[in-house]
Amino acid sequence: MTAQSPPDEAFLYEQLATTISKLIDVGTLKPGDRLPSVRKLSKKRGVSISTVLQAYRHLEDCCLVEARPQSGFYVRPQVRNRPTEPQITAPPLAVTEVEVSDLVMKVLESVADPDVVPLGAAIPSPDLLPTARLNRVLASVARRAGPEINTYLLPQGYDPLRQEIARRALDWGCSLSRDDFIITCGCLQALSLCLRAVARAGDTIAVESPAYFGVLQLIESLHMKTLEIPTSPRDGIDVEALERCIEKEAVTACLVTPNFHNPLGSLMPEAHKKALVDLCARHQVPLIEDDLYGDLYFEPPRPKSLKAYDRDGNVLQCSSFSKTLAPGYRIGWVAPGRFAPEVRRAKLASTISTAAPLQMALAEFLRQGGYDRHLRTLRRAFANNLERMTQAVGEYFPEGTRATRPLGGFVLWVELPERVNALALFREAVKHRISIAPGPIFSSTGQYDQCIRLSGGHSWSDRIEQALQTLGRLAGRKTGGE
Amino acid sequence: MTAQSPPDEAFLYEQLATTISKLIDVGTLKPGDRLPSVRKLSKKRGVSISTVLQAYRHLEDCCLVEARPQSGFYVRPQVRNRPTEPQITAPPLAVTEVEVSDLVMKVLESVADPDVVPLGAAIPSPDLLPTARLNRVLASVARRAGPEINTYLLPQGYDPLRQEIARRALDWGCSLSRDDFIITCGCLQALSLCLRAVARAGDTIAVESPAYFGVLQLIESLHMKTLEIPTSPRDGIDVEALERCIEKEAVTACLVTPNFHNPLGSLMPEAHKKALVDLCARHQVPLIEDDLYGDLYFEPPRPKSLKAYDRDGNVLQCSSFSKTLAPGYRIGWVAPGRFAPEVRRAKLASTISTAAPLQMALAEFLRQGGYDRHLRTLRRAFANNLERMTQAVGEYFPEGTRATRPLGGFVLWVELPERVNALALFREAVKHRISIAPGPIFSSTGQYDQCIRLSGGHSWSDRIEQALQTLGRLAGRKTGGE
């Protein structure tokens, strides 16, 4: 294991990379322009050579610059045919019973086959994760553990793990203590406990449109109803539209993903977050936050959690390690605010507690350090994957295709031209051994039958590029009126 | 690790022990009688010396016989003051909203303190479990595993583990295949998924009275209602009373523990099981079976699962490894019969899947063999603990105290004389650093305020004996009209 770089340097290089990427964005640095030499910039900014090099390499990973041997770093040509972004969504504002499960099972089954190109499920590839180190920590915990590894923990979970999570909460803008957290079997269980704590069958839950299909299934399985709110692919849920709905309808709770929403990738501006938290507090509507992707920002700073704006415990923040470290462990958490007693009771009544050995292993992994370093590498990989994927969509997909431009996470939401049907494309793709997630599973009102979600969770490869080429061809055939 | 004894021998010694224990039971062998010499019995029955010795040692563990040095084995004096068994329960036959959670949390918190004598929670002590071997298997799985250890499994779980469970199902009288099982986060999640699959908020679930508090909490958290059915401490749920209820009330599902019910320890006669399964099938009422304690019988054969009588997939069998092997792992299963699609959907919507590393470790542990051998040792230990506990209750508790006589599991249900209040006794006991489970947490109709449940999950010790002496004294003071 290499030693972790000092936090200062990490901060400096990310800051530098951000500055340069902004200069490229606004056109101050144009395609073909040479970046200042490493030595020169190091002197000018008073940072080390290695910091500048790291910043340049990061920009290279993001496909913004390229290194030319013995010459230096140059701004890359802009993506040809970068697809337009989709518009804000416009779901029918109707309270709806949910029924997406059967379709979702089909998608999951298509993903489970290792011969299938896995663009369908939002799962980080194990080779992008420190699986070997995690396994070593688990083995060492198992070898050294006393009897406490084989007994029930209390519902709230293993204290040292809660402690580590509380420490990390500072990154999201929250000052929370160990006792503010309850460990869960993944983020989905956290969301489930929250829903069970604040709502009951027949109640209406306001969600983004589109919404993560797992959330829709969860609401379906609890016999609750959804109200889908218009959502911008860039800025997330439309807070004003939500406000109008809350004033008109009996909304029992809101469930929102402020940071790098799945499937849209949208990131709520901080002012919107504050407005949302205030709105829900004012109307006493519990606000369940899914912050599963919050650590996967491409440019610092780490966006804040809604919980950071919470004054009266009305926000229930949920997340997990499933997208960043340990999908196989099913370990997540919730900071349930004023609903702690209800959530703890729901946890006790669901699974009593979460498996002890894995909580102990994760706590030890975090304690040893290196997680932040891993996150930096992972974020770069995902940024690179999504950039490549966007280019491929621009190149191979039919004219009129739109795609989101996420600033974090690892999924891309693609809006196909009018005559393409996503379910038909899904079925065709399966025949070609490619898995994609068709738009309709992200809606309980039958929206998005022209949309698909593509996952950039696997390292870029020729196989993935070819799959996208095939998908583009299939979609093009559809537009041709097949 | 010692090699596992051949199954034949295990079978022979258990058979022999049963025969002798029956002879003691009916009085053919009286207290003080000398058992036949090991050599003589070995010759007479045509079994090995070691088989006879094992049978005698088993009877010794069960406190039925004692070894006298250089003399042989003698039938022990009967327990003085063996408490009478409680009567069949008579709950008010009313559909009830459930509210036991707050009290349960208090009990659990009292159990978590290591300085407290742990008679309150039905948890097997880690020192009675092969924790060290399990830890070694987990460490070895973690060291050797490939990337599949760190990715989501499908909701139904890890195939080799399902295979091992299917193999064991033969013991319960079931011929099931791998694909009939879904792995869950413990038995409670299995029950939760079943309830969500077959019922919804407001529906009525028929349960035994008393019922395991976890089940009552679960029903409470799903906003369903209970109907408590009279239950015999010896024979389990009163099937005729249940039939009358099903005919009168809208019962959506039954949730029953046929084998070594918690807290009663009752064991349904096989004919009752068949009648129950037929009744539910006839009325199309899904029958959820909690078979968590079925492997913990004190005398062979292993009692059958309700599922063994199931002809049309109406029984959803739930169990786990939490009481026999790995409480800390939270791994259970359900064989959901015709409700498989609904249960799988509920699993997907709850926690997606169960943690991969622990499923892999358990599958490997079972594959290596030795689990049955461990179960034999564990059963003997629990039989011994309960026998000692019964003796202590008979000795130390006030006149008029009744206690169940379980044939398996490891809990004792104690009915105190009329003027003792179980909640007051619980509070007093906590002050004396003793944890017990007060009767009212086992009822949603406020029954059993004179009852307590004692757990024999920890190895017998002076500390436990002293705790029971203290409890008896406290209960006696209460009867004295303190």
Instruction: Examine the pLDDT at B4 and tell me if it is beyond 50.
Output: no
Q: Of chain B residues 233-292, which have a CB less than 8 A from chain A?
A: none
CA atoms within 13 A on the CB side of B196: 33
Task: With beta carbons less than 8 A apart as the criterion, state whether A76 and A64 touch.
Answer: yes
Closest alpha carbon within chain B to A346: B221
| CA atoms of B204 and B254, how far apart (whole Å) | 9
| Mean pLDDT, rounded, of chain B | 90
Q: How far is B138 from chain A (nearest CA, A)?
A: 6
CA atoms within 13 A on the CB side of A86: 32
Distances (CA, A) of B311 to A355, B180, B267, B308, B315: 35, 14, 22, 8, 9
pLDDT 10s digits, B376-421: 999 999 999 999 999 999 999 999 999 999 999 999 999 999 889 9
pLDDT 10s digits, B207-235: 999 999 999 999 988 989 999 999 999 99
Please indicate if any CB of chain A lies within 8 Å of the CB of B150.
yes
Instruction: Examine the pLDDT at A245 and tell me if it is beyond 80.
Output: yes
Name every chain B residue with its beta carbon within 8 A of the beta carbon of A131.
147, 149-150
Instruction: Examine the pLDDT at A2 and tell me if it is beyond 60.
Output: no
* pTM assigned to the model: 0.85
Name every chain B residue with its beta carbon within 8 A of the beta carbon of A99.
none
Confidence band of B99 (pLDDT split at 50, 70, 90)? low
Name every chain B residue with its beta carbon within 8 A of the beta carbon of A121.
152
Q: Which helix (H) or strand (E) holds B281?
A: helix B270-282
Closest alpha carbon within chain A to B330: A355
The reply to whether residue B218 touches residue A355, judged by beta carbons under 8 angstroms, is: no
Q: Domains, chain B, ranges and CATH?
A: 7-75 (1.10.10.10), 99-127+373-479 (3.90.1150.10), 129-368 (3.40.640.10)
| CA atoms of B456 and A118, how far apart (whole Å) | 50
| CA atoms of B260 and B237, how far apart (whole Å) | 11
Task: With beta carbons less than 8 A apart as the criterion, state whether B259 and B303 touch.
Answer: yes
Q: How far is A354 from chain B (nearest CA, A)?
A: 7
The reply to whether residue B328 touches residue A131, judged by beta carbons under 8 angstroms, is: no
| CA atoms of B254 and A68, how far apart (whole Å) | 72
Q: What ipTM was estimated for this complex?
A: 0.83
Q: How far is A323 from chain B (nearest CA, A)?
A: 10
| CA atoms of A178 and A168, how far apart (whole Å) | 11
The reply to whether residue A147 touches residue B126, judged by beta carbons under 8 angstroms, is: yes
Which residues have CB under 8 Å from B457's CB, separation 6+? B118, B121, B122, B123, B124, B125, B128, B382, B385, B410, B411
Which amino acid is residue A307, in one-letter code?
A: K
Task: With beta carbons less than 8 A apart as the criterion, state whether A156 and A345 touch.
Answer: no
Of residues A150, A188, A349, nearest to B126 (C-beta): A150
Please indicate if any CB of chain A lies within 8 Å of the CB of B53.
no
pLDDT 10s digits, B38-93: 899 999 888 888 889 888 888 887 778 888 878 889 988 766 567 888 888 888 87
Confidence band of A80 (pLDDT split at 50, 70, 90)? low
> What single DSSP character describes residue B167?
H
Mean of pLDDT values over A126-146: 92
Q: How far is A391 from chain B (nearest CA, A)?
A: 28
DSSP readout, B415-476? Answer: EPPTT--HHHHHHHHHHTTEE-EEGGGG-SSS--TTEEEEE--S---HHHHHHHHHHHHHHH
How many helices and strands in chain B, by DSSP H and E? 15, 17
Beta bridge partners of A288: A255, A316
Q: Which helix (H) or strand (E) holds B36?
A: none
Confidence band of B482 (pLDDT split at 50, 70, 90)? very low
> What single DSSP character describes residue A109?
H
Which amino acid is residue B347, in one-letter code?
A: K
Q: Which of B188, B189, B192, B221 to mutate to test the interface with A (most CBs of A within 10 A)?
A: B221
Burial of B14 (C-beta count, 10 Å sphere; 0-12/13-18/19+): buried
| CA atoms of A276 and B134, how far apart (whole Å) | 48
| CA atoms of B402 and A451, how far apart (whole Å) | 67
